[in-house]
Structure 1
């Protein structure tokens, strides 16, 4: 494969068409475009990774209200950061955002680094995200290649292969570099993301409205749905787990904090067990005299790389004086500000008759 296939347009023509479309149809009033600072752009870019703009907006606004600057984020407890991330998914993003804020305060004087290299060294910031932060917040020339840009360039040039393959990704980076201008970098970067998100969409691209429909190779071939080519599929493995909903006589539910790394790292969850035998053994040891209710219906929670079949198991205990380390009682009627795994949050809000009010949104 050639490193750079013949571009369909000269850079100036490509930029003129894209920015002309953006000026008329792009998004110009997103929350992070108002009072634009490196910090606000950074938080928005992390939230927007694998998440749609409409989903991100309310999370971003709540996050900014609580953490208006990098110092307030760095000094916060991880639980509060993850609480505001609950429901947004991909929780490593929230943990890395918190860690990066602490690094920025400790090593960069509370200011986001101004170079791509220094930004990319921070937790959770890769090459494309660093480029977006630089271009959007400082107007400096930087290249981006997020999922939207990969899709658009793949279709425009009918680039064969899955973009996750290193050789294909190198080709797309070369094309992105070729088209990136020297001016209007913030607008150009937003335009590339908007174009892929609203026009050159994954499932139903709006080819008649596209400013490149006369030169798009995939469109000319009638193969827009083929590009970009999909990752070779593997059957998602399935895991099973029992989630213990242990309630005391005050209607509180026992939670335990997940390890800092791995699945739902740092979040609070219901105690999990591989089978009924291990669950009962745990109860015998930690909550003797507890009463088990019939298990609830199993439901499935899908992750990017596996499926989890969850069976909730309710139990009641009159009293449990010591819950041990990394565990706490949680009152659904007066919920603490904790980061909760999404299926756990759903279970806690459905704990009638124990729950008097639903837990608030993230």
Structure 2
């Protein structure tokens, strides 16, 4: 949950998620729809899908016992080199490095690395440094420490250099480069995308379809096509937008009332309006639908 998401945002989702899925078995036995409903609003939904897939693999192949080797971990969905290292160091006290955003920032500043962190060579150099610095003992404490150091002192903006115990040896600090390091590629301007959502209502129920592509894959959304042509009973319409990491989505919505569900030949399911808060919907769509009930 903490991948690309702040702690303050994660906490309420984490508490609710752990309360429902208390172990691997509970998570593995749950449906994808239920898992996605507990993740709705947290974003980056591939993380939830991978977490669910991983739980099922561990239940089936490891009898619900989490694997403790690097080779086994990186085969699981959504677990790469850094996440595997975190699991091994925190959970099994094994000597493995991590390289999340906080660690990258600490290392690039301390060693004065001025090459872009997006370059393969820089990535390799940072991994080498991260592994060379590992202590022989208390690996979990060290790993937590360097992560917290980056999160609280060596922050992206306005780093607390005056409180840093390494400010006399940090190359970035000594050369007034803390604001310039780490070096990143220039951010691309977000492109605009557009779509439409058709919210069909019949007998206090609405039709939703399972999305199969993009960032909202696996989530329920209203159909993005008008299946009734021009002869529609339009109740309400409007426009909204939501912003993703690489693009801005602008969408129009149409609330349409129909009298017979059979008029719609769509592969979807009908849900009561009151079920909306508990469904696995993208946060912007859930917000929209809830607003339409008021």
Tell me if the contact between 2:190 and 2:246 (Cα under 8 Å) persists in the aligned partners: yes
Task: Please give the residue correspondences for 1:63-78 in structure 2 after superposition, counting only pairs within 5 Å.
Answer: 63-78=17-32
Question: What is the aligned-residue RMSD (CA, Å)?
Answer: 1.8
How many Å separate the matches in 1 of 2:240 and 2:171? 43
How many Å separate the matches in 1 of 2:146 and 2:262? 57
The answer for the alignment partner of 1:31 in structure 2 is: none
The answer for the alignment partner of 1:344 in structure 2 is: 285
Q: How far did residue 242 of structure 1 move? A: 1.0
1:301 aligns with 2:255: no
1:314 aligns with 2:255: yes
TM superposition outliers: structure 1 runs of 4+ over 3 Å: 321-326, 334-337
How many Å separate the matches in 2 of 1:144 and 1:164? 16
Q: Deviations over 1:299-357 (max 9, x none)?
A: 3211122211112222221231375564122223243732111211110110134xxxx
Q: How far did residue 50 of structure 1 move? A: 0.7
Q: Deviations over 1:51-72 (max 9, x none)?
A: 1122222211111111111111
TM-score normalised by length of structure 2: 0.94
Which structure shows the bigger proportion of residues in strand conformation?
Answer: 2
How many Å separate the matches in 2 of 1:79 and 1:306? 26
Tell me if the contact between 1:302 and 1:308 (Cα under 8 Å) persists in the aligned partners: yes
SS at match of 1:310: strand
Q: How far did residue 241 of structure 1 move? A: 0.8
The answer for the alignment partner of 1:3 in structure 2 is: none
SS at match of 1:314: strand
How many Å separate the matches in 2 of 1:187 and 1:54? 22
* Count of residue pairs brought into register by the alignment: 294
Question: Which of residues 219, 223, 236 is equivalent to 1:271?
Answer: 223
- The 1:117–1:87 alpha-carbon spacing in structure 2 relative to 1, beyond 3 Å, is same
Question: Which of residues 16, 37, 51 is equivalent to 1:83?
Answer: 37
Where in structure 2 are there 5+ consecutive unaligned residues? none
Tell me if the contact between 1:255 and 1:270 (Cα under 8 Å) persists in the aligned partners: yes
How many Å separate the matches in 2 of 1:294 and 1:323? 19
- The 1:85–1:205 alpha-carbon spacing in structure 2 relative to 1, beyond 3 Å, is same
How many Å separate the matches in 1 of 2:207 and 2:193? 23
Where in structure 1 are there 5+ consecutive unaligned residues? 1-46, 274-278, 354-362
The answer for the alignment partner of 1:253 in structure 2 is: 206
Tell me if the contact between 1:79 and 1:337 (Cα under 8 Å) persists in the aligned partners: no
Task: Please give the residue correspondences for 1:57-136 in structure 2 after superposition, counting only pairs within 5 Å.
Answer: 57-136=11-90
How many Å separate the matches in 2 of 1:100 and 1:63? 16
Q: How far did residue 160 of structure 1 move? A: 1.6
Q: Deviations over 1:62-99 (max 9, x none)?
A: 11111111111111100000000111110000000001
Tell me if the contact between 1:283 and 1:290 (Cα under 8 Å) persists in the aligned partners: yes
Q: How far did residue 291 of structure 1 move? A: 1.0
SS at match of 2:152: helix
Tell me if the contact between 1:256 and 1:268 (Cα under 8 Å) persists in the aligned partners: yes
How many Å separate the matches in 2 of 1:323 and 1:92? 30
TM-score normalised by length of structure 1: 0.77
The answer for the alignment partner of 1:225 in structure 2 is: 179
Tell me if the contact between 1:290 and 1:318 (Cα under 8 Å) persists in the aligned partners: no
The answer for the alignment partner of 1:327 in structure 2 is: 268
Tell me if the contact between 1:162 and 1:231 (Cα under 8 Å) persists in the aligned partners: yes
